[in-house]
Amino acid sequence: MPTVEVTDLKDDDFLLDVREDDEWQAGHAEGALHIPISEFVARYGELTEAAPQDGRVHVICRSGGRSAQVAMYLAQQGVDAVNVDGGMQVWAAVGRPVVTDDGRPGFVL
């Protein structure tokens, strides 16, 4: 499964967060699309509508396990998808912003 390091992500890269609602509400990357892994197949159309045409989908979760599963599924569907290695834990650890829905500082649950 192709992976990318958090430090290699650019601000305008498309990010799909597959963590559950409570994790998302605690804090997430600004601008990420949130579709929990537990709802992913049913809500797949939301991703195809939001993702850039012929663009890469960077999939993130807390540590990289769930996002690897979703990235593999997307690759099987012909989507250019990569797993963000280390997930939101590394995202926060390297100082990337973590926010709540109302823009306040958040944290990784």
Positions annotated as catalytic residues are: 61
Residue with tokens 């939001």: 50
Given a contact cutoff of 8 angstroms between Cβ atoms, the answer to whether 30 and 109 are in contact is no
CB-neighbour burial class of residue 19 (10 A; exposed 0-12, middle 13-18, buried 19+): buried
